[in-house]
């Protein structure tokens, strides 16, 4: 405790401290909301990225390119 520390004694004693459950619940809820908010933006960005470029990742673009390259094309078509 502070008194034992200020007293200069060699004995150190500790006090078990606990936060009241109703206080803890309020801050756990605030923390959950904050974490949720911090993940919303990146999740939306990921979804828009997948929506725009998912065909490249899943291989659809490669098969379309191979199909296109099989045919003869003029320089202007490229």
pLDDT digits (tens, 9 = 90+) for 35-71: 999 999 899 999 999 999 998 888 888 888 888 888 8
Domain borders along the chain are 19-77
Q: Are 3 and 14 in contact (CB under 8 A)?
A: no
Ramachandran angles phi, psi of 61, nearest 5°:
-65, -40
pLDDT digits (tens, 9 = 90+) for 12-35: 667 788 999 999 999 999 999 999
Would you place residue 8 in the very low, low, confident or very high pLDDT band (cuts 50, 70, 90)? low
What pLDDT, on the 0 to 100 scale, is given for residue 17?
86
What pLDDT, on the 0 to 100 scale, is given for residue 22?
95
Above 70 in pLDDT, residue 2? Answer: no
């Amino acid at each position: 405790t502070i008194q034992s520390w200020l007293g200069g004694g060699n004995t150190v004693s500790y006090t078990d401290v606990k936060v009241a459950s109703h206080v803890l619940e309020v801050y756990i809820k605030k923390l959950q909301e904050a974490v949720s908010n911090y993940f919303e933006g990146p999740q939306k960005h990921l979804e828009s990225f997948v929506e725009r470029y998912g065909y490249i990742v899943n291989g659809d673009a490669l098969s379309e390119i191979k199909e296109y390259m099989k045919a003869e094309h003029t320089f202007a078509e490229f």
